[in-house]
Amino acid sequence: SNASASLGNIRNAQDAQQIAISLWNNYVEKTPQRTKLIDAFMAFLMVVGGLQFVYCVIAGNYPFNAFLAGFSATVGQFVLTASLRIQTNADNENDFKNLSQERAFADFVFGSMILHFFCVNFIN
Amino acid sequence: MKSLVRCALGALLYSTVALAASWSFEDASISVSGKAAGVGGASKEKLSPNSPLTSPLALPAADSLKVILTTTEGSTGKRAHQAFLTLHEPTTGLEESFPFSVKENGKGKVEVTQKDLPFQFLTSTQPLKASLVIASFGSSTPYNQHAFDLSIETDAAAAPAVPSPPERYTSQPEIRHMFKADPRSPPAVISLVFTLAVLAALPALLGAWLLLGANLDHIGKAFNASPVAHGLFFGSIIAMEGVFFLYYTVWNLFQALPAVLAVGVVGYVSGSRALTEVQDRRLAGER
């Protein structure tokens, strides 16, 4: 029974690995190219936000409002990009019949400008 | 008729004055008991309103003096508003009063130990004179009569009673306060490292976009179709970020807001044109 239990664990680990790999392959094949561009931007935002957070943890949070401004800039931009992704994803066409992709992009730019203004204001 | 009423009123008033009640007490007893003595060890005496006790009571150091009575107005037990056991020191004339805790039916008690007494009582050479004071609102005559004498037995072995030092208001010793150090910015090296890391993420993003097949080759086509719109749109986005930079460095809000408005209007108009051109290319299947 020990052998079968360890075999079961190995099988579970292999299953998890296989699930992850097939998930990745599915993503690469099925996702439209423009959505992948947006995903690359979101990954970039996560990296930048993570770097700021690590810096805050290591080097202290003085001045705190500067950290908040920078971090919330990445977070807010991530949220705006996520909504752009939802609105322009080809799989969601049915929900956004009245919204052209260019209009979604224009809203994205407008929201980003407002976010940048508030963040620049908050850095002080 | 009028004279009859007047007579009746006069009789009523006279009777009220004649029958004016006076405060007193009944069922009074006084006991001195120590903690270790138990029930039977207490010395108990009965008090009566009209005659004080003849021999003085002794209050040893650790014992407590307890007085129990029932305040009465006239002949009915009633709660008096003020009921005190007042101790009076004959040589100095110092007085201290201890209030009874009285219930609605008039039953009250008070307990006094040597700890409650001011130090002048403890060092007194003569017995203290204890009197009971009972009074309240209304027109009943109050009661204030000498009830018994109390001699304080000091404990020879205990430390002598000393008065607390008098309160003197002078300047206090100087306070030296160490203020917390101001927060400082982290070392420039760390900030530089992280800034470079963030800046390095940007070409990584551009590279990922190129890898994914971003259509940079359409730039020529787009600018040929509508150069003004695309140029103004892209330029207005850059200009907006430039306005934010100037707002951060030099300008104040009121200088920045008109610039934001102007650039925003340009961007909106040019943007709608530019994005229409993009939409044409998308609908034509080129994206």
* Partner-chain residue, chosen from B214, B241, B282, that has the shortest CB–CB distance to A37: B214
10 Å CB burial of residue B114 (0-12, 13-18, 19+) is: buried
Instruction: Give domain status of residue B184, yes or no.
Output: no
Sorted by where each begins, the domain ranges of chain A are: 33-123
Cβ of A120 within 8 Å of Cβ of B264? The answer is no
> What is the model's pLDDT at position B165?
81
B220 shares a domain with B135: no
What CATH number should be reported for the domain holding residue B127? 2.60.40.1930
B47 is a domain residue: yes
Q: Give domain status of residue B226, yes or no.
A: yes
Residues B29 and B127 in one domain: yes
B140 with B27, same domain: the answer is yes
Tell me the chain B residues in contact with residue A116 when contact means C-beta distances shorter than 8 Å: 240-241, 244
List, for residues B249-266, the tens digit of each pLDDT value.
988 899 899 999 999 999
Q: How many domains does the structure of chain B reveal?
A: 2
| pLDDT of B87 | 93
- Does residue B139 sit in helix, strand or coil? coil
Q: What is the tens place of the pLDDT at every residue in B178-217? A: 999 888 888 889 999 999 999 999 999 999 988 887 777 7
| Residue B121 lies inside a defined structural domain of this protein | yes
Domain boundary among B127, B152, B177: B152
Query: Which domain-ending residue is among B126, B152, B178?
Result: B152
pTM of the shown model? 0.57
Q: What are the pLDDT digits (tens) for B124-155?
A: 888 999 999 999 998 989 999 999 998 888 77
Shared domain for B229 and B112, answered yes or no, is: no
Residue numbers in A near B213 (CB within 8 A): 33
Name the domain boundary from B117, B135, B152. B152
pLDDT at A1 > cutoff 60: no
Q: Would the pLDDT of A5 be above 70? A: no
Nearest to B212 among A36, A44, A105 (CB): A36
Percent of chain B topping pLDDT 90: 35
Is B246 a member of any domain? Answer: yes
- Residues B230-259 have a mean pLDDT of 91
Chain A with chain B: Cβ pairs closer than 8 A: 78
Could you tell me if B97 and B129 are in contact, meaning their C-beta atoms sit under 8 angstroms apart?
Answer: no
Residue-level pLDDT at B187: 86
Domain that holds residue B231: 215-283
Q: Which residues contact A32 (CB under 8 A, 6 or more apart)?
A: A89, A90
Q: Do B191 and A55 touch (CB under 8 A)?
A: yes
Cβ atoms of residues A83 and B249 within 8 Å: no
DSSP 3-state assignment of B74? Answer: coil
A102 with B276: Cβ contact below 8 A: yes
Task: With H, G, I as helix, E, B as strand and everything else as coil, classify residue B181.
Answer: coil
Residue B78 lies in a domain: yes
